[in-house]
A = this chain, B = another copy of it.
Amino acid sequence: MVQSNGNKEYYIGVDVGGTKILAGVFTKSLECVETTKVRTKAYRGKTAVIDRIKKCIFDVADEADIDLKYVRAIGIGAPGAVDSENGVIIFAPNLGWENVPLKKELEDLISIPTFIGNDCNVNTLGVYEVELHKKPKILLGIYLGTGIGGGLIIDGRLYTGFSRTACEVGHIVLDINGPRCSCGKNGCFEAFASRKAILNSIVEAVKNGSKTVMTEWLGDNLGEMRSRDLRKALKKGDQLVKKIIKNAAVYTGIAVANLINVLNPQVVVLGGGIIEALEDDMMPTILETVNNNAFPGSLKGVDIIATKLGDFAGINGAAVLAKNCINNSCV
């Protein structure tokens, strides 16, 4: 797409995930004019992945017909623990990274000011700035994907806590006797309702003799199961998948109710691959469980919605991060 006006101020938002890197070019009014996607290929190692982020940024600028000199800033949403002040990825198990100074490395490669945030925080920024026209006083975002994370915006600013690790909502314990979580604890929200937890539950049930169409498609260990495979199985009337997704929705409802009781947000937005694929199947159970478990006073007037931005929440939010930070109101 060619530049549609003489307004030469752009931002690039990048969502770095464990499987793909998505980048978008945004105008200064945060309209997305072009997107590009490449695979992450994390197995090639850190330097290769950083080169692929650079490639994705150059590609999206090229596709949008803009010169990088008109890009004021780049924003990056990255998984795991992120020190956004210094632009360092502290720990990102999906990428196999520890203490990677991503801001510095990209600025050395591209010479454009770059700002880094946790992907769930950045997603929430995207929903707040781009999707919600009436800005809520307090917005809580919860994202169910491979893992589960969250973001919180209070009075227009990201709440990141004392050491910038707030909103690890996937690791609130919902049942001390529950299944083992990847973090080493038992019964975390993530151990009930992430894609990984759902996959484990299906594999376990199959081992114990249950039947599902999923194994016909993907083999007994479900290999590369995606969220959309779950939706396909539900459409086929698969009873095992139905039961496991229902259970995940109940625990999601409990977690949302807990968070409403503590944070009393105005809007709760749910997103991530699991919600994007299974919104129609999960939301009624989630809402019913929240209604049964949140304090009526805390729930009054609260909207609980699924984001419509899907995969694009991340690049939108990353563009917001870039614009805010370069204008000295860094979140």
Contact = CB atoms under 8 A, between A and B. Distances in A.
A158 interface: no
Given A138-B162, A163-B300, A163-B301, A261 B172 contact: yes
A327 interface: no
A69 B250 CA distance: 57
Given A90-B297, A266-B162, A175 B176 contact: yes
Interface size range of chain A in the complex: 35 or more
Nearest to A169: B262
A265 B136 CA distance: 23
Contacts of A81: 297
Given A262-B259, A293-B185, A302 B175 contact: no
A233 interface: no
**Copies of this chain, how many?**
2
Nearest to A162: B266
A169 B154 CA distance: 19
A304 to B, nearest CB: 13
Contacts of A301: 162-163
Contacts of A295: 165, 168, 171, 183
A207 interface: no
Interface in A96-148: 136-138
A295 B177 CA distance: 18
A136 B163 CA distance: 12
Nearest to A186: B293
A168 to B, nearest CB: 4
15 contacts: A90-B297, A136-B162, A137-B162, A138-B161, A150-B262, A154-B154, A160-B264, A165-B264, A165-B297, A168-B295, A169-B261, A169-B262, A173-B254, A173-B258, A174-B176
Closest 5 pairs (CB-CB, A-B): A161-B264, A166-B264, A162-B266, A172-B258, A168-B261
